[in-house]
Structure 1
Amino acid sequence: MNTSDANFKQNKYRPFILASVMLAMFVGAIEATIVSTAMPAIAADLGGFELYSWVFSSYLLMSTVTVLIYGKLSDLFGRKPVITFGMTLFLIGSILCGFAESMEWLIAFRFIQGIGAGAVLPIATTIVGDIYNKEERAKIQGYLSSVWGISAIMGPALGGLLVDTIGWQYVFWVNIPLGILSLIGLWIFLDEKIEKKKHHIDSKGAILLTASLTVLLYLLVEGGVTVGWTSLTAAGLLIAASVLFIQFIKHEMKTEEPMMPFSIWKNRSILIANIVSLAAGILIIGISSYLPAFVTGVMEQSARVAGFTLTAMSIGWPIAAVIAGKLLIRIGYYRTSLIGGCSLVVGAVLFVLMEPSYGPWWAAMSSFFVGVGMGLTTTSFIVTIQSAVSWNLRGAATAANIFMRNLGSTVGVALLGGILNASLLNSFRSSTNENVNELDVNAVNELLTKEGRSSLDGDILNALQQAMSTGLKSVYAIVLVIAVISLILILFLPKKDIPS
């Protein structure tokens, strides 16, 4: 496909296209935080608390496995029809979620939502790469990153307001008019000139990748819960996922118009950016998943204060992303990425050094540094990747980077959760208090509310808080290792800037 970038960049409607893209990204970004806030009310209404985590996992599973598929389809058939299909499916899933009458049905509808969501972020980001040149992308990608910060701040507040006033169903339905408006804007103002020719759709590759990742993510989500990590079932799932993925790689290496063009990974900038994005996904999920538990359970602060410590990261990320746009032009992507990597390490060090007596401001400061690091590196990577490939590979290349970050987050949940649980049990078993010896991991639930803490015996409370603090220090030690590895990898990026 020989579609000229110049035709896009001369489009006088670029501000309207950008507004439509940012609206589409907002719809996808706010989904995570707004649903998290509403989940206690949803579980109380629908029941099935044992399926609580699958409401999130089902969405994450499908949005992760479909990212690469949509990215390649957009290179073959254009951005507009693919993002339209994805957004439409996302909105249909949102409507159905609001009508769910049981947790099982909600999970099924979240699968549909996730399948659609996989198209929104990569295609929206790719459209920006199409209509702006390299210097402009650096600035505009900063604006796109700010969407995530705004959604992270608005999501919890809006979710709480909707639940308290008109019902949890509207947490899903609030997306519908916004999604429709973004599609209207794209169809009116985005004029794609796609060369009409017959394309080979890599359906076998899509099936192999989806099957491989579905098996792997199922193991990661259910491992240690319904599937023992040392069981034959876990071993069988791991072998099945490995065999399917190897078959996927073999198929992609020889097929025409592959869904994952491995040729782009030969570019050192893309290879390192994608590996660092995988590490960043682990890092970010390790902080966002467990920091509220530390602030609430160990520091004994309110849920609102715990939210504030994460909001600091959401503020640092978009601010740094906007600054990154200017730095990329002035000092280049290598130095900008390097500054971002250093900020990640600083934030991780602060988390490792954090003590309960330091208070929430220390936690917020640590989060802010991590947010700054993420804003600088993610913006640099997207601009670099989109500048290193042609139009007909840009969708797949952008999707690959987002896929790696999503995969890192999914793997990180299982990896760091296992480390935390093992540390908690070790603390309980090594205690000299017989009552503490009998505790299991679920005992820490009592730390997460003021009422729960007040109901505990003083010795038990101290033991639980000490175990939680020790366990989370182990988690943050892993986060620091990941941050250091990321910084080392960034040092191997080419120092010469990528031409636009």
Structure 2
Amino acid sequence: MSESIKYAIDSHPKHSIVEADANAGLLEQETSVLTGIGLCIIMFMIGLYSTMDSVVFIPIANHFNALSQAEWIINGYLITTTAFQPIYGKISDIVGRVPAILFASTMLLIGSLVCAISQTLAVMIIGRAIQGLGTAGMFTMANVLVADLYSERARGKFMGLSSGVWSLASSGGLVLGGVLVQFASWRVIFWLNLPISVIIAAVVIYSIRLPKPSGTMRYKIKRVDFGGTVISLLSIVLILLALAWGGREYPWNSAIIICFLVFGVLTGALFIFYEHRVPTEPIIPLHLLHTRNNVITLIAQLFFGSVANAPLFLVPKWALLVKNTTPVTSGLYLLPYNLAEFAAVVVSGWWVTRTGRYRECVWLGSTMLLVGLTPLIVLDQNSGLGIIIGFQIVAGMGFGVCIHSLLLTAQVNADGLDSASTTSVSMFMRSIGSITIVAVLGSVYSNKVNYMFAEVTRLYPEYADKIALVAENQTLIRKLDLPPAVYDLLVDAFMRSMRAAFIALIPFSVSFILMVAGIKHKPLQVIKKTTIK
């Protein structure tokens, strides 16, 4: 394609739609149909297992009579997922995409096996941490492969398709997870992850065809930034542990939380200095921060991860604790969110490929997330399905419009060889947002519910033992012989605590809108970039 034609397509998308679509279509044909199907299967499997897990942390905590520790079933998973995401991108540049995904699928298999056979909460948390190590690679590498195989212009449509497949799998995972918990056992969910891991590995081996990085194994090992890997992991884990413990295990102003935060930040500063001076191929190329759009997008990913993933954590928990639903029903409460996301990702993906415009999608999606999530503060134990479904449809559409458009914004502003690093760092920032929101909202919820349970205990000291049992196992609230007044006060405590968490979400939604407002549009290329050397 001549430069003049390319310029016309990039600069005047409305007047060059036919030619742009034709060239994008030709480029898509360079990637085999088998590979595209393989990628969709991978996305389906990731969506299925990741959302099956999201509805089980309360039942697992109830099983171990440790409801106050329930967040650690999520936090252990999120800490390793977050810590290892920026590493996968650069490692895959060195050893290849397929080995990186195979390693991730192996970690998912091992972690799921540990969870399935766990007999204590501690072992469960360890298994979840190993599982998170695999998920870090799954989410990162799936998006890296899309950038490898499709041009920026054609990428919008395929991102919409693959994200839509992920959304459908997520919806199915919510229902399946709830059914298995209610009618079988939460352990079955982790046993199902074993064949899912094998299927992902088989699909990758059979269908993904990409150039392999050049050089001998000795040369590849020399390219690995081991020093930066260790320093980054230390910094990330210290900060994430502080966020996870703060306000729950320890007060925010306690010595251990302050030390973890201070040393985590100082280690992060050391990591930046080290990456700038020492390795020839740093884990996070610092020149990515020289572009305004990259900086804005990375910070926006932080708030997006917070806002978009909050419903996955809050809504099933609200349904179980406040509405006292079954695990199946708690999963169904999220169905409108996921189905709306599916419709939005497909339509917005088509729109991006058709028009070459992605910035407007991010603007629209961020607004819809604010509009859909803020009214959740009115939910109580008497809320009907209509109001819950309506809010979640709006928020789910906002999620779907943003999920690939925001990632595409970062990829557009990166050189081809930086594509994997840009993608992995974007996913890393999104995960930082997820664990931050779990920590912040979990802290708000825990502080409120502990205070209100203490007040109920003060009013009814003769039921102190039973109130303490309910605090650790929510299902006991209907099984214990509690008078109606005590029962109503405990449900009210759960409701008001969840409302406090919904209110704490609002500043994150507003910050996301303000951040993406500064994105500048850059035309999408119709020529595939070289992403592996």
Q: Which amino acid aligns with 1:497?
A: P
2: CA distance between counterparts of 1:447 and 1:87?
Answer: 33
Q: Tell me, yes or no, if structure 1 residue 271 matches structure 2 residue 283.
A: no
Among candidates 382, 390, 400, match of residue 375 of structure 1: 400
Q: Report the alpha carbon displacement of residue 160 of structure 1 after superposing the two structures with TM.
A: 5.0
Q: Which amino acid aligns with 2:296?
A: I
Q: In structure 2, what is the equivalent of residue 226 of structure 1?
A: 249
Among candidates 391, 402, 413, match of residue 438 of structure 2: 413
5 Å-filtered alignment, 1:229-248, equals 229-248=252-271
Q: Report the alpha carbon displacement of residue 158 of structure 1 after superposing the two structures with TM.
A: 3.0
2: CA distance between counterparts of 1:262 and 1:274?
Answer: 13
Per-residue displacement from partner, 1:352-384 (whole Å, max 9, x unpaired)?
A: 344554413212221221111111111101222
Contact residue 13 and residue 189 of structure 1 kept, 8 A = no
Q: In structure 1, what is the equivalent of residue 505 of structure 2?
A: 479
1:96–1:189 Cα change, 3 Å: same
1: CA distance between counterparts of 2:370 and 2:396?
Answer: 11
Per-residue displacement from partner, 1:132-164 (whole Å, max 9, x unpaired)?
A: 112221111112222332232222443455567
Secondary structure at the aligned position of 1:227 is classed as: coil
5 Å-filtered alignment, 1:303-452, equals 303-328=327-352, 329-330=354-355, 332-354=357-379, 356-424=381-449, 434-435=459-460, 445=471, 448-449=474-475, 452=478
Contact residue 219 and residue 227 of structure 1 kept, 8 A = no
Uncovered stretches (5+) of structure 2, i.e. residues with no partner: 1-23, 527-533
Q: In structure 2, what is the equivalent of residue 88 of structure 1?
A: 106
Q: Report the alpha carbon displacement of residue 110 of structure 1 after superposing the two structures with TM.
A: 3.1
2: CA distance between counterparts of 1:320 and 1:62?
Answer: 30
1:407–1:444 Cα change, 3 Å: farther
Comparing 454-463 and 337-346, the one that deviates more: 454-463
1: CA distance between counterparts of 2:196 and 2:61?
Answer: 26
1: CA distance between counterparts of 2:495 and 2:70?
Answer: 25
Secondary structure at the aligned position of 1:332 is classed as: coil
Contact residue 85 and residue 140 of structure 2 kept, 8 A = yes
1:346–1:168 Cα change, 3 Å: closer
Q: Which amino acid aligns with 2:44?
A: F
TM-score by length of 2: 0.81
Q: Which amino acid aligns with 1:344?
A: L
- For the aligned residue pairs, the C-alpha RMSD in angstroms reads 3.5
Contact residue 412 and residue 524 of structure 2 kept, 8 A = yes
1:334–1:70 Cα change, 3 Å: same
1: CA distance between counterparts of 2:397 and 2:44?
Answer: 20
Aligned residue pairs total: 494
1:43–1:233 Cα change, 3 Å: closer
Per-residue displacement from partner, 1:427-466 (whole Å, max 9, x unpaired)?
A: 5778998349x98996874995595398443443444444
Q: Which amino acid aligns with 1:205?
A: G
Comparing 217-226 and 447-456, the one that deviates more: 447-456
Contact residue 447 and residue 465 of structure 1 kept, 8 A = no
Structure 1 vs Structure 2: percent identity of aligned residues?
24
Q: Report the alpha carbon displacement of residue 125 of structure 1 after superposing the two structures with TM.
A: 1.0
Q: Report the alpha carbon displacement of residue 407 of structure 1 after superposing the two structures with TM.
A: 0.9
Contact residue 45 and residue 200 of structure 2 kept, 8 A = no
1: CA distance between counterparts of 2:190 and 2:498?
Answer: 33
1:181–1:462 Cα change, 3 Å: closer
Q: In structure 1, what is the equivalent of residue 9 of structure 2?
A: none
Secondary structure at the aligned position of 2:478 is classed as: helix
Per-residue displacement from partner, 1:81-103 (whole Å, max 9, x unpaired)?
A: 21122222322333444344544
Q: Structure with the greater relative contact order (CA < 8 A, sep ≥ 6): 1 or 2?
A: 2
Among candidates 501, 510, 514, match of residue 488 of structure 1: 514
Among candidates 56, 62, 78, match of residue 80 of structure 2: 62
Q: Report the alpha carbon displacement of residue 211 of structure 1 after superposing the two structures with TM.
A: 1.0
1: CA distance between counterparts of 2:400 and 2:74?
Answer: 24
1:419–1:101 Cα change, 3 Å: closer
1:242–1:100 Cα change, 3 Å: same
Q: Which amino acid aligns with 2:366?
A: G
Q: Tell me, yes or no, if structure 1 residue 209 matches structure 2 residue 232.
A: yes
Q: Report the alpha carbon displacement of residue 415 of structure 1 after superposing the two structures with TM.
A: 0.9
5 Å-filtered alignment, 1:139-288, equals 139-160=157-178, 162=180, 168-197=186-215, 198-199=219-220, 200-254=223-277, 255-288=279-312
Q: In structure 2, what is the equivalent of residue 3 of structure 1?
A: none
Contact residue 178 and residue 331 of structure 2 kept, 8 A = no
Q: Which amino acid aligns with 2:386?
A: W
2: CA distance between counterparts of 1:47 and 1:425?
Answer: 16
TM-score by length of 1: 0.86
Contact residue 23 and residue 178 of structure 1 kept, 8 A = no
Comparing 86-95 and 419-428, the one that deviates more: 419-428
Q: Report the alpha carbon displacement of residue 12 of structure 1 after superposing the two structures with TM.
A: 5.2
Contact residue 320 and residue 330 of structure 2 kept, 8 A = yes
Comparing 373-382 and 357-366, the one that deviates more: 357-366
Comparing 446-455 and 95-104, the one that deviates more: 446-455
Q: Which amino acid aligns with 1:229?
A: W
Comparing 132-141 and 448-457, the one that deviates more: 448-457
2: CA distance between counterparts of 1:419 and 1:439?
Answer: 23
Q: In structure 1, what is the equivalent of residue 143 of structure 2?
A: 125
Q: Report the alpha carbon displacement of residue 410 of structure 1 after superposing the two structures with TM.
A: 0.6
2: CA distance between counterparts of 1:477 and 1:263?
Answer: 37
Q: Which amino acid aligns with 2:99?
A: P
Q: Report the alpha carbon displacement of residue 203 of structure 1 after superposing the two structures with TM.
A: 0.9
